[in-house]
Amino acid sequence: MKSAIHSALLAALCFGMAGYTLADEPKRPECIAPASPGGGFDLTCKLAQSALLDGKHLSSPMRVTYMPGGIGAVAYNAVVAQRADEPGTITAFSTGSLLNLAQGKFGRFDESAVKWLAAVGTSYGAIAVRADSEFKTLDDLVAALKKDPAKVVIGSGGTVGSQDWMQTALVARAAGINPRALRYVAMEGGGELATALLGGHIQVASTDISDSIPHIESGGIRILAILADERLPGETVEDIPTAKEQGYDVSWPVVRGFYMGPEVSDEDFAWWKNSFDELLASDDFATLRTQRELFPFAMTGDELDTYVKQQVGQYKALASEFGLVQQP
């Protein structure tokens, strides 16, 4: 009899613990990608979507919602002003988001307006052309820009001052070219950028190596330079030269991660932080990250918050160097 009672109590206790665990799990998990499908924000959300559905964290798939506009501005404002306390919503960000924050491009909200959750990997900037382009090297492109910058149409995600603009501006400055003389076409995210390049609407794309991998493998585009300190590992990218080795001292890492609304409870934020801490320490996540051509970069919670604010400070100084107007 005592054994039966003991078993019943143990079962009840286990059921209660299971119920507590399930209660902590977000009921409607969602990842907002602040752009159209196909770019880096989409890739970031899909990485979390795959990683969290591992039998340990989410019991149902996380929905990915696309919210283009202002290279992250629309999503940032929506999360802060309208969805501030949603416990199941995370939003993708990148280095480009921080650069835009540094210039006041997200409106009245600054880098302190959200809870910075986790950085899960990094990519690097890249200068891309169509596979059949006349530009075979970065020197070829620079020579054409020096001859007549108005004849080379460069596509970038965002307008003057955006991350993609800054990448080519840094290359131009390193080559002695006035970045303001370059001819840009602003687009909304990496998916639209790749479509325009492949369609011949632009001649050059200032982009991200992770976004470019599928198009490199399909033979549609060619990378003139990766903006990293040294060549990257991996069969698809290991033979692609860096800008530095071609004589242009430019590096642009693209950190990718997530933030949450400012009024999300400490308990709900802790669930997500702990989940990402576990993922970032796992071999399975490392495999998923590599499959998406991202490289290791792991920060969560307070450490990420400190990093973000330091980076925004550095980008404010960089924006000032380039004479970019900052909003109050």
Q: What mean pLDDT comes out for the span 214-238?
A: 94
Domain that holds residue 102: 28-123+254-321
Whether residue 88 is found in the same domain as residue 229: no
pLDDT band at 326 (very low <50, low <70, confident <90, very high): low
Residue 235's region, left for phi above 0, alpha for psi from -120 to 50, else beta, is alpha
pLDDT in tens, 163-196: 899 999 999 999 999 998 999 999 877 778 889 9
Domains of the chain: total? 2
From 208, 229, 251, the end of a domain falls on 251
Is the residue at 179 inside a domain? yes
CATH number at residue 236: 3.40.190.10
Q: What mean pLDDT comes out for the span 297-326?
A: 92
Whether residue 208 is found in the same domain as residue 258: no
Is the residue at 220 inside a domain? yes
- The rounded distance, in Å, linking the Cα atoms of 248 and 175 is 7
Is the residue at 10 inside a domain? no
CATH number at residue 82: 3.40.190.150
Whether residue 108 is found in the same domain as residue 178: no
pLDDT in tens, 14-47: 443 333 343 489 989 999 999 988 888 999 999 9
Cα 299 to the center of its chain, rounded Å: 14
This prediction has a pTM of 0.80
- The rounded distance, in Å, linking the Cα atoms of 233 and 198 is 25
Whether residue 85 is found in the same domain as residue 33: yes
Task: Phi first, then psi: give them for residue 268, nearest 5 degrees.
Answer: -65, -40
Instruction: Give the type of residue at 97.
Output: S
pLDDT band at 9 (very low <50, low <70, confident <90, very high): very low
Is the residue at 5 inside a domain? no
From 229, 251, 273, the end of a domain falls on 251
Whether residue 210 is found in the same domain as residue 265: no
Choice between 17 and 107, residue whose per-residue pLDDT is larger: 107
